[in-house]
Amino acid sequence: MQRRLANVNTWTITATIIMILLVLPNLTILTGFVTEPNDNWRHMKEYVLNSYVTTSILLIILTSIFTIFIGVSLAWMIAQYDFPFRNFFKWALILPLSIPPFIGAYTYHGIVNYTGIIQTTLRDQFGLQLNPSYFDIMNIPGAVFIYTLFLYPYVYTITRVFLSQQAASLVESARVLGKNSFQIFWSVVLPVSRASIIGGASLVVLEVLNDYGVVKYFGIQTFTTGIFQTWFGLGDLDTSIKLAAYLMGFVVLVLFIEKLLRGKRQYSYSTTKIRPLPVVKLKGMKAIFASLYGWTIFGFAFAIPLVQLIDWTILTFGSIPQSVFFLAVKNSVLVATISATMVITFALVLGNFSRMVKGKLVTLFPKLSIIGYSIPGAVIAVGVVTTFIFIDQQLVPVYRFVGFSTTLVLSVSLMMLIAAYVIRFFAIGFNSIESGFEKIGTDFRDASRLLGANYTKTFLKIDLPMLKGAIISGFLLVFIDILKEIPLTLILRPFNFDTLSTKAFQYASDEKIMEASQASLLIIGISALAIIIFHKFLEKE
Amino acid sequence: MKKSLGILIAFLLVVLTACGNDSTSSKNNSEEKKNDGPEVNLYTARHYDVDDQLYKEFEEKTGIKVNVIKGEADELLERIKREGDATEADLFLTSDAGRLFRAKDAGVLQAVSSETLDEQIPEKFQDTDQMWYGLTKRARVIVYNKETVKEEDLSTYEALAEPEWKGKVLVRSSENVYNQSLLASLIEINGEDEAKKWAANLVKNFARDPEGGDKDQAKAIAAGIGDVAIMNTYYLGQMLNSEEQEEVKVAEGLGIFFPNQDTTGTHVNVSGAGVVKYAKNKDNAIKLLEFLSSEKAQGTFAEANYEYPVNAAVEPTELLASWGDFKEQDIPLSSLGEHNAASILMFNEVGWK
């Protein structure tokens, strides 16, 4: 009894410390919630708030529908059937995640605009000058198109891992009962994989709400553009925080809907052996159609933008200094690896903690940290700066003792950037780990505990091995996200510290998309490498 | 299982060691900055590759190491604000007088005076309290389709809001600071009511909802979506010198028109820099400012982005010279900042997206 208490306490203390660390910097932002509405707020309400709300809702709903449709259909197709190129598609369909949406937006606009390859070819080769509005993607449908292409892998990855590992026995039973594949999909696959689908889709929604690059360039007014406008343009932090509050209300709603949609039912491992689903070999037209579908998505979401980026890189190669790239690659990989490792470690501790403690309130605990994913990156960054400067000021005596001359040590170091990444992307890692824990259920743990192993030992010996898939996919998602990240990196980096995403962004924001292509290609290359390595690793299991 | 965990750990180790030599250096980034030699810390929102070369030249010339953080102006300013008196920043460099005004307004800059700066930078492009100094100059002009618009049809910014231009005007979104400064200048010159009327009428003349950047407005003229666009001069320079032949073609089909030559002058703006109030290396920051506005650096600094040098001793490039001299708005640049908030609210009210 004594020992168990001590055990729970270690976990409790660790989990609480992590929670505080994750939420603290955001609190500096939340203090503004209680301010009186001022003239700017009234102005916003009168003139623009409605359009922020409707545009944001429209973007979320449309993007969710499309990403779920594409993500789930691909996941199911690859989990259930065998067809030409299936093994390639398995990992290749994750690749679009490596293209930052704002780069995707610039690239696609570059392809379809007046001087882009499509219109130019039509004009010069065929003498066709079509109505330019056919090619206009700088609007809400265009933004949905961009988000869908580069964010569907969230849904695809999470759902596919689940289906190929979990659905075997259920689907087999259904097959034995003589259901056709459509019936199986509707009555078995969708219900059991609901949690993964909704989990993936909610990541997409948060990504969309948070995006600034695409909407800013396209001239679409959303919450995020409004927050920036009031904060920096009007210099009115209070009002911009009020907008952020609305946005957070949104996110809480999304998460609530997610919980609701996930429902009460839990499906956990029914046996200790995770059996992959036996695949059905497709023949003839069906096989061709399946391949075609895969190639279409892969083409639009990856191959086409990639070819365009390569083309631009070749065009501009001579005009860009090359020396900086080597260092930028190292910096990017370094911060992404450290931060992703930290995120996953924290997520494991918190995930395990909320399983140990049976209590509604505590399980909501980690959910709070998702706030970090819902607030625009720039807002978080300022919270982090404020927090770190505060810590630095408390530590001045220590610095003096050690012999530093400055008062800012932590806040000009890489620590601050890494802390911000962890706060920002914790939700992604946690989502993955949490669905992993949900799949395991608690039977094995309870058995292990009955046999006398303590919580920590059980965690290391029983849970961790079973969580491997979740750990790897969580790490991968966070790693790639950090490689692409813009606002935090721009604001919080130390002196003389360039990453690939900051290089890409600085060119793109000067309307020099061609020059941005090389850095973008490197981001894509590293992400692709990571995806391939981890995929091979997962396949080995 | 053990084996696979081993592989995973090995992978992480490989990555970490690959970056290991670097991680020490980035940990030492702050230490590295604390080299014993003289240095200057720059927060800049300008990110042209040529800037880095100029900083290197400065280093070679003076022995002062330039440490740089590049970012977006508003966010960098916010960071300096938050860092307060402990800030590491010595010099803050950004485009647009509106933003320089914001920095001054936020109390993060200090006044510096130097004979060299006064020689090199005309008073017009200095802050009235010497808190910031302009380094490059750009004009926000009208470009037009040479085939459908005659130059004599164009006259002023104000005239673009007349009904005859209905469905023909292209301009980017109001979220952009260049538009905010343009409207601010009209508020300064014509007063709030007139400026608001102008903005409201111009919106009625839009060929389409604002989208894309300045270059996209030029391309929309080529595509026949509209006939005239408001854009910054250097974007046209970039297009004329683009690696993409199609962009060059588009730019060649455009005429450039400097508005309000017979009235209040064309709207000009600057990029510039100010010494941070709590700078630890104030003298070095001034030296860097003097270097960047010197005859030697001005050419490169402005030319990199097809901008006009502020240093009168420096000849503008051939391209800029070919556009000819023009009369500039005669208003204090700080007024662009003073009316910035008003212009943002005005854009919202008239529905300029």
pLDDT attached to residue A273: 52
Residue range A493-508: mean pLDDT, rounded = 89
The answer to the question of residue A38 being in a domain is no
Do the chains contact at A235 and B102, CB–CB below 8 Å? Answer: yes
Q: Are A106 and A523 in contact (CB under 8 A)?
A: no
DSSP H/E element including A280: strand A280-281
Residue of A nearest to B176 (CA): A216
C-alpha span between A534 and B229 (Å, rounded): 50
| B193/A493: higher pLDDT | B193
Exposure on the CB side of residue A372, measured as CA atoms within 13 A: 29
Least confident of A172-176, A200-204, A333-337: A172-176
- Residue A38 contacts B, CB cutoff 8 Å: no
Closest CA to A459 of A436, A430, A477, A493: A436
Which residue type does B271 have? S
Do the chains contact at A407 and B86, CB–CB below 8 Å? Answer: yes
Tell me the three-class secondary structure of chain B, residue by residue: CHHHHHHHHHHHHHHHHHHHHHHHHHHCHHHHHCCCCCEEEEEECCCCHHHHHHHHHHHHHHCCEEEEEECCHHHHHHHHHHHHHHCCCCEEEEECHHHHHHHHHCCCECCCCCHHHHHHCCHHHECCCCCCEEEEEEEEEEEEECCCCCHHHCCCCHHHHCHHHCCCEECCCCCCHHHHHHHHHHHHHHCHHHHHHHHHHHHHCECCCCCCCHHHHHHHHHCCCCCEEEEEHHHHHHHHCCCCHHHHHHHHCEEEECCCCCCCCEEEEEEEEEEECCCCCHHHHHHHHHHHCCHHHHHHHHHCCCCEECCCCCCCCHHHHHHCCCCECCCCCHHHHHCHHHHHHHHHHHCCC
| A248/A93: higher pLDDT | A93
- Of A234, A316, A507, nearest to B341 by CB-CB distance is A234
Do the chains contact at A115 and B67, CB–CB below 8 Å? Answer: no
Which candidate in A106, A115, A463, A506 is best for mutational testing of the B interface (most B CBs within 10 A)? A115
Closest CA to A416 of A437, A390, A434, A450: A390
- Of B72, B106, B219, nearest to A114 by CB-CB distance is B219
pLDDT attached to residue A135: 86
DSSP state of A31: G
Q: Are A527 and A475 in contact (CB under 8 A)?
A: no
Q: Are B91 and B41 in contact (CB under 8 A)?
A: yes
The answer to the question of residue A80 being in a domain is yes
Q: Determine if residue B267 is labeled as part of a ligand binding site.
A: no
The answer to the question of residue B58 being in a domain is yes
- Residue A378 contacts B, CB cutoff 8 Å: yes
pLDDT attached to residue B25: 37
The fraction of chain A above a pLDDT of 70, given in percent, is: 90
Do the chains contact at B75 and A514, CB–CB below 8 Å? Answer: no
DSSP H/E element including A100: none
C-alpha span between B237 and B218 (Å, rounded): 12
- Of A132, A385, A493, nearest to B69 by CB-CB distance is A493
Work out the pLDDT band at A247, boundaries 50, 70, 90.
Answer: confident
Q: A-chain residues within 8 Å CB-CB of B305?
A: 510
The fraction of chain B above a pLDDT of 90, given in percent, is: 78
Do the chains contact at A491 and B75, CB–CB below 8 Å? Answer: yes
Do the chains contact at A120 and B246, CB–CB below 8 Å? Answer: yes
Burial class, B129, CB count within 10 angstroms (exposed 0-12 / middle 13-18 / buried 19+): exposed
Count Cβ atoms below 10 Å from residue A240 Cβ, excluding itself: 26
The answer to the question of residue B73 being in a domain is yes
State yes or no: pLDDT of A20 exceeds 70: yes
State yes or no: pLDDT of B34 exceeds 60: no
DSSP state of A230: I
pLDDT attached to residue A480: 93
The answer to the question of residue A285 being in a domain is yes
Residue of B nearest to A42 (CA): B345
C-alpha span between A19 and B150 (Å, rounded): 66
pLDDT attached to residue A38: 84
C-alpha span between A190 and A213 (Å, rounded): 33
Q: Are A159 and A196 in contact (CB under 8 A)?
A: yes
Residue range A40-60: mean pLDDT, rounded = 90
Residues B276 and B127 both lie in one domain: yes
Residues B101 and B239 both lie in one domain: no
The answer to the question of residue B326 being in a domain is no
The average confidence (pLDDT) of chain A is 84
- The C-alpha of A233 sits at a distance from chain B's nearest C-alpha, in angstroms, of 6
Residues B260 and B197 both lie in one domain: yes
Q: B-chain residues within 8 Å CB-CB of A48?
A: 348
A49-80 helix and A140-166 helix, angle to the nearest 10 degrees = 40
Query: Encoding tokens for residue B18?
Result: 């690959």
Which residue type does A381 have? A
Q: Determine if residue B234 is labeled as part of a ligand binding site.
A: yes
The answer to the question of residue B189 being in a domain is yes
Least confident of A368-377, A432-441, A492-501: A368-377
- Residue A219 contacts B, CB cutoff 8 Å: yes
Do the chains contact at B67 and A496, CB–CB below 8 Å? Answer: yes
Q: How are the residues of chain A apportioned to helix, strand and coil, as percentages rounded to the nearest 5?
A: 80, 0, 20
Do the chains contact at A132 and B211, CB–CB below 8 Å? Answer: no
B187: containing domain: 138-267+334-350
Residues B132 and B143 both lie in one domain: no
pLDDT attached to residue A163: 81
CATH code for position B254 = 3.40.190.10
The answer to the question of residue B130 being in a domain is yes
The answer to the question of residue A181 being in a domain is yes
Q: B-chain residues within 8 Å CB-CB of A537?
A: 4, 7-8, 11
Q: A-chain residues within 8 Å CB-CB of B214?
A: 511
Q: Are B120 and B294 in contact (CB under 8 A)?
A: yes
Which residue type does A438 have? E
C-alpha span between B204 and B165 (Å, rounded): 9
The answer to the question of residue A448 being in a domain is yes
* C-alpha pair distances (Å), A159 with each of A70, A76, A167, A191, B131: 11, 8, 11, 12, 57
C-alpha span between A37 and A242 (Å, rounded): 8
The answer to the question of residue A12 being in a domain is yes
- Of A114, A491, A533, nearest to B222 by CB-CB distance is A114
Q: In this structure, what are the phi and psi dihedrals at residue A147, rounded to the nearest 5 degrees?
A: -60, -45
Count Cβ atoms below 10 Å from residue B281 Cβ, excluding itself: 21
Which candidate in A129, A393, A496 is best for mutational testing of the B interface (most B CBs within 10 A)? A496
pLDDT attached to residue A93: 94
Which candidate in B175, B235, B242 is best for mutational testing of the A interface (most A CBs within 10 A)? B175
Query: Encoding tokens for residue A227?
Result: 């927050």
Number of domains in chain B: 2
pLDDT attached to residue A534: 81
Residues B45 and B76 both lie in one domain: yes
Exposure on the CB side of residue B174, measured as CA atoms within 13 A: 28
- The C-alpha of A491 sits at a distance from chain B's nearest C-alpha, in angstroms, of 6
Residues B345 and B288 both lie in one domain: no
State yes or no: pLDDT of B125 exceeds 80: yes
CATH code for position A160 = 1.10.3720.10
Number of domains in chain A: 1
Handedness of CA B271, B277, B280, B282 (dihedral sign): positive
Q: In this structure, what are the phi and psi dihedrals at residue B339, rounded to the nearest 5 degrees?
A: -100, 10
Residue of B nearest to A44 (CA): B348
Residues B219 and B161 both lie in one domain: yes
The answer to the question of residue A30 being in a domain is no
Do the chains contact at B87 and A408, CB–CB below 8 Å? Answer: yes
Q: How many A/B residue pairs have CB atoms within 8 Å?
A: 215
Residues B280 and B300 both lie in one domain: yes
pLDDT attached to residue B16: 43
The model's pLDDT over A447-483, given as tens digits with 9 standing for 90+, comes to 877 787 777 787 787 778 888 888 988 899 899 999 9
- The C-alpha of B27 sits at a distance from chain A's nearest C-alpha, in angstroms, of 7
Burial class, A91, CB count within 10 angstroms (exposed 0-12 / middle 13-18 / buried 19+): middle
- Of B74, B212, B341, nearest to A138 by CB-CB distance is B212
Q: Determine if residue B48 is labeled as part of a ligand binding site.
A: no
Residues B180 and B275 both lie in one domain: no
Query: For residue B134, what are the β-bridge partners?
Result: B272
Buried b (16+ CB within 10 A) or exposed e, A399-416: beeeebeebbbbbbbbbb
The answer to the question of residue A489 being in a domain is yes
A503: containing domain: 2-25+46-540
Which candidate in B41, B173, B214, B242 is best for mutational testing of the A interface (most A CBs within 10 A)? B173
Do the chains contact at A219 and B41, CB–CB below 8 Å? Answer: no
The model's pLDDT over B129-140, given as tens digits with 9 standing for 90+, comes to 999 999 999 999
Q: B-chain residues within 8 Å CB-CB of A493?
A: 69, 71
- Residue A128 contacts B, CB cutoff 8 Å: no
Q: A-chain residues within 8 Å CB-CB of B349?
A: 43, 47
The answer to the question of residue B259 being in a domain is yes
The answer to the question of residue B288 being in a domain is yes
- Of A221, A334, A490, nearest to B72 by CB-CB distance is A490
Closest CA to A192 of A432, A430, A435: A435
The model's pLDDT over A77-106, given as tens digits with 9 standing for 90+, comes to 998 889 999 999 998 999 999 999 999 999
Alpha helix stretches (DSSP H) within A371-467 = 371-374, 377-402, 414-440, 443-450, 455-458, 464-466
Query: Encoding tokens for residue B38?
Result: 């003289």
Do the chains contact at A468 and B172, CB–CB below 8 Å? Answer: no
State yes or no: pLDDT of A530 exceeds 70: yes
Count Cβ atoms below 10 Å from residue A287 Cβ, excluding itself: 17
Do the chains contact at A119 and B223, CB–CB below 8 Å? Answer: yes
State yes or no: pLDDT of B201 exceeds 90: yes
Residues B263 and B341 both lie in one domain: yes
- The C-alpha of B329 sits at a distance from chain A's nearest C-alpha, in angstroms, of 23
DSSP state of A134: G
Window A:386-415, CB contacts with B under 8 Å = 386, 389, 392-393, 405-409, 411-414
Q: In this structure, what are the phi and psi dihedrals at residue B244, rounded to the nearest 5 degrees?
A: -95, 110
Residue range B85-95: mean pLDDT, rounded = 93
Give chain B's length.
353
